Structure 1
């Protein structure tokens, strides 16, 4: 990824004029809501001329402020938490309506993108795999952890990797064609992610990738890819569609092996009671 505007400012800050530094400092202080300001706003709020604002943006590699706003929206599409609509969370209950509409649209897009026969194939693999390993980094880690917790109620041999502060290699080595890896790869992935996907070229397990659209380039390297949009009405991504998909997969597995799944759930519940682990 080319350096974003904040990185460009940091790299060139010492070379800027005093007036340009005032604008640059304001941008850094208000980076999260950069797309909300106009060039005139920046001029007024920093006490410099519009020509100074324009000159700064040209020095940073932008033709004009419209290019800066497009740049800010592109950063948001890559997962950087930027406010692009100042009114997104305003208006009493209206914000809840907009939030609901966006969540419903995300879920519709998830379900519309899954072919029933592909879903059934994945469920059969979930049932028949010798072991299932769920893998996630950064924001994908809690999704991998939740997926493991759901699946292990219906079947045994479900592992989470990597464990906190542990490496991944020893978790993947030894996996074979009878095993399944569920890899979560949502945007703002760590650099190691691409290497992990490439490593599956030499590891003969099946791989299900659950991610947003930015992971489309990995599709040819995995057995299945299910796409979950993260769009929200403001700065922070929403993982509701991904959590719903995990529920759908876990329920699909349970109903595919209903007798064994019920027996395991009953056994787990009985042991909960013996260990007195859960509150009434």
Structure 2
């Protein structure tokens, strides 16, 4: 149980001083791991012995166990206030390294060839993985036909998996805090005969061992939330690789889509910086 759940469950069993200490823990829950037990006792206005008794009453050996639980929750993807405040320079360096690791993955070329040649490509993603899946589908749809996204709003993936055939490609985006039943979807997809690609962070490694192609992409961040910059960069690299693989055919499709945009007036026309607009003096 999380520490706030434990406090709620044991509230009536705590002494008045322990309740006071527990209230302080709840007030500082977002950055609790940045404190020492003695500092928390001072903040609550209770003795260090009272704070230690509280941790034992909640089922912890000591505050170190509390801190480890909080760190484990962050490692699982739960947003937390960054320890020591926001480190933007550190964030930028970590992002650059994450992008490098993602785009230099040794299986990228194999995935590119699959996405360029498979009769049908289906891209699947839930929760935080959905925007990455949506972006990948959008990029690929500019280059080739029969690229699908699942699940669509209000739908499940069963209908899409039923259409998979040998030779098709299924790209599953599975970053941490994946939905229950994720492994079942992979098993169903593998049974279809389609080639299954999994794009996920290191917590998906066990799932990655079961699929045909595994692309590891870090999302860890020094900030409070996971970062998907490396994932989006990897999508761009995959799409660029498919464009190079398809050559003239891919460019012709892009050109045809652009002409369609113009006929339907669906996209704002780009203006060149510094160039005077029609009807206005320079």
Scaled by the length of structure 2, the TM-score of the pair is 0.90
**Does the C-alpha gap of structure 1 residues 201 and 156 become closer, same or farther in structure 2, counting only changes over 3 Å?**
closer
How far apart, CA to CA, are the structure 2 residues paired with 1:224 and 1:104? 24
Asked if 1:156 is matched to 2:179, the reply is no
1:10 shift after superposition: 2.8
How far apart, CA to CA, are the structure 1 residues paired with 2:7 and 2:126? 29
**Does the C-alpha gap of structure 1 residues 119 and 170 become closer, same or farther in structure 2, counting only changes over 3 Å?**
same
CA contact (8 A) 2:114 2:169 kept: yes
CA contact (8 A) 1:35 1:84 kept: no
Deviates more, 1:266-275 or 1:73-82: 73-82
1:67 shift after superposition: 2.1
The match for 2:101 among 109, 114, 120 is 109
CA contact (8 A) 2:79 2:226 kept: yes
Q: Which residue number in structure 1 is paired with residue 90 of structure 2?
A: 98
Asked if 1:183 is matched to 2:133, the reply is no
CA contact (8 A) 2:143 2:250 kept: yes
Equivalent residue pairs, number: 269
CA contact (8 A) 1:73 1:84 kept: no
Deviations 1:170-200 (A, max 9, x none): 1111201121111111011111212212222
CA contact (8 A) 1:34 1:82 kept: no
RMSD: 1.6
Asked if 1:7 is matched to 2:5, the reply is yes
How far apart, CA to CA, are the structure 2 residues paired with 1:70 and 1:278? 50
Q: Which residue number in structure 1 is paired with residue 51 of structure 2?
A: 53
Deviates more, 1:236-245 or 1:36-45: 36-45
1:21 shift after superposition: 2.4
1:238 shift after superposition: 0.7
Asked if 1:263 is matched to 2:255, the reply is no
Deviates more, 1:52-61 or 1:177-186: 52-61
Deviations 1:51-103 (A, max 9, x none): 1211121222322112221221121111111124123x2xxxxx432221111
Q: Which residue number in structure 2 is paired with residue 213 of structure 1?
A: 202
Deviations 1:198-217 (A, max 9, x none): 22242221111010000001
Q: Which residue number in structure 2 is paired with residue 92 of structure 1?
A: none
How far apart, CA to CA, are the structure 1 residues paired with 2:186 and 2:55? 38
Deviates more, 1:270-279 or 1:219-228: 219-228
1:105 shift after superposition: 1.6
How far apart, CA to CA, are the structure 2 residues paired with 1:6 and 1:197? 34
How far apart, CA to CA, are the structure 1 residues paired with 2:166 and 2:121? 11
How far apart, CA to CA, are the structure 2 residues paired with 1:170 and 1:229? 30
How far apart, CA to CA, are the structure 1 residues paired with 2:254 and 2:190? 36
Alignment of 1:1-280 (within 5 A): 3-87=1-85, 89=86, 95-112=87-104, 114-115=105-106, 118-280=107-269
CA contact (8 A) 1:35 1:83 kept: no
1:230 shift after superposition: 1.0
How far apart, CA to CA, are the structure 1 residues paired with 2:147 and 2:266? 21
Structure 2 unaligned runs (5+)?
270-282
Scaled by the length of structure 1, the TM-score of the pair is 0.91
